[in-house]
Structure 1
Amino acid sequence: MIALLQGEVAVRRGDHVVVSCGGVGYRLAVSAETLRHVPRVGESTTLFSHLIVRDDALLLYGFATEEERDLFLLLLGVQSVGPKMAIAVLSGGPPRELLSAVASGDTARLQAVPGIGKRTAERIIVELREKVGAAVVDDPIVITRTDEPHALAREGLIGLGFGPQEVDALLDGAPGDTPEALIAHALKASRR
């Protein structure tokens, strides 16, 4: 079983990435949520993975966190949810938000995902509510808010698709007292 890949990003597309590890490129299907955490081509990354073996293919799926991979495996256990649909569900938001939606029975949140209808959303909730309910209650979601310009600039750059390590390098020693000034400096520095 391939559980983790660490290497250089060779290809970065909307639905997959290729990670070069020791001269071999591994193509991993990823959710939009994971793709937000994958750095640009040529940079180092680490992805958790899950391999599905079929008669006609070896399918490798990549995840930014173990939590996302665990949710993927839970979704695969739901009747009529395959890997593509599970990846679509994971693209609907961070794993914690999706787990909270399942625990609270929020079918509308799941139906917002393209390809997920009312019946499938209800089935996911019915089959997973007991499994995820205890985890969500035991480990509450904590939302912190900061007005520190450096932290706000970092969040903004990550939202624009830059990787966390790249953002830290761009903001290291950047001049500016406002998030806007810091982001402008980082964007100029990234073009050099």
Structure 2
Amino acid sequence: MIRSLRGQLLEVADDAALIEVGGVGLRVHVSATTRGTLPSVGGAVRVDTHLVVREDALELFGFATPAERTLFEACIAVSGVGPRIALAVCGLDEPEALRRSIQMGDSKRLQAASGVGKRTAERLVLELRDRLGEPLPGGAGGHGPATGSAVEAREALVALGFTGDEADRAVLDAPDDLDVGELVRHALSRLRRSPA
């Protein structure tokens, strides 16, 4: 697996950089955050990378820091989130600020990324919240009404004895415009119908 590259920056486009390593030019997809840290064309560059292997292609994704790569890898582990969407999420802000947004349940922040709608943003918050650790003190932000409802409903379902995965699936299956109580009732109805 290719985990980092060091070489000369040959070209920078909106979503990718061309880096020459040992005489070979490698196209590396980069987030807006990483693109902002790249040197001038011709300068020496080092990026942490993640290799995505597909049936018809090998794609490299590059990051300014290991923390950004870790966030990217966490995002692509979420159902329905591919590398392009994960890269767009990483490009919103520094990794720590994004981690805080996820911990605070701020799905509206994630919706600013290209390709991320309300459902995907809520799924990212629900699935990554526990994986990314506790927020740092002094984190800004809060719950948007729908996101806060989804998070509270999930917590209520877990308190009732359902697993986190069961609660996540039931909450994500609900209509968008429900308050916490309605969301819990809808999720309980769905969970009662599903086979044990």
Partner SS, residue 6 of structure 2: strand
Partner SS, residue 11 of structure 2: strand
> Which stretch shows the higher mean deviation, 53-62 or 107-116?
107-116
Instruction: Give the whole-Å Cα distance in 1 for the aligned partners of 2:78 and 2:92.
Output: 17
Matched, 1:88 2:88: yes
1:4 corresponds to which residue? 4
Partner SS, residue 132 of structure 1: coil
1:166 corresponds to which residue? none
The amino acid across from 2:32 in the alignment is A
* Structure 1, unaligned runs of 5 or more: 143-192
The amino acid across from 1:128 in the alignment is L
For 1:120-173, what per-residue CA distance to the aligned partner results, in whole angstroms no more than 9, with x for missing partners? 010000000011133x34xx579xxxxxxxxxxxxxxxxxxxxxxxxxxxxxxx
- The alignment yields a C-alpha RMSD, in angstroms, of 1.4
Give TM-score scaled by structure 2 length.
0.68
Matched positions, count? 139
* Structure 1 residue 55: Cα displacement: 0.9
Alpha-carbon distance change, 51 to 106 in structure 1, aligned in 2, over 3 angstroms = same
* Structure 2, unaligned runs of 5 or more: 140-196
Partner SS, residue 27 of structure 1: strand
**Percent identity of paired positions between Structure 1 and Structure 2:** 44
Question: Contact 2:50 / 2:61 at 8 angstroms: preserved in 1?
Answer: yes
Instruction: Give the whole-Å Cα distance in 1 for the aligned partners of 2:111 and 2:22.
Output: 41
Matched, 1:123 2:126: no
Matched, 1:58 2:78: no
Question: Contact 2:31 / 2:87 at 8 angstroms: preserved in 1?
Answer: yes
The amino acid across from 1:115 in the alignment is G
2:76 corresponds to which residue? 76
The amino acid across from 2:17 in the alignment is V
* Structure 1 residue 63: Cα displacement: 0.4
1:48 corresponds to which residue? 48
Partner SS, residue 116 of structure 2: coil
Give TM-score scaled by structure 1 length.
0.70
The amino acid across from 2:11 in the alignment is V
Question: Contact 1:96 / 1:141 at 8 angstroms: preserved in 2?
Answer: no
2:39 corresponds to which residue? 39
Instruction: Give the whole-Å Cα distance in 2 for the aligned partners of 1:141 and 1:4.
Output: 33
1:97 corresponds to which residue? 97
Instruction: Give the whole-Å Cα distance in 2 for the aligned partners of 1:44 and 1:62.
Output: 15
Instruction: Give the whole-Å Cα distance in 1 for the aligned partners of 2:62 and 2:51.
Output: 9
1:29 corresponds to which residue? 29
Instruction: Give the whole-Å Cα distance in 2 for the aligned partners of 1:37 and 1:141.
Output: 26
Question: Contact 1:33 / 1:92 at 8 angstroms: preserved in 2?
Answer: yes
The amino acid across from 2:19 in the alignment is V
Instruction: Give the whole-Å Cα distance in 2 for the aligned partners of 1:103 and 1:132.
Output: 8
* Structure 1 residue 91: Cα displacement: 1.1
Instruction: Give the whole-Å Cα distance in 1 for the aligned partners of 2:95 and 2:138.
Output: 11
Instruction: Give the whole-Å Cα distance in 1 for the aligned partners of 2:126 and 2:17.
Output: 33
* Structure 1 residue 40: Cα displacement: 1.1
The amino acid across from 1:81 in the alignment is V
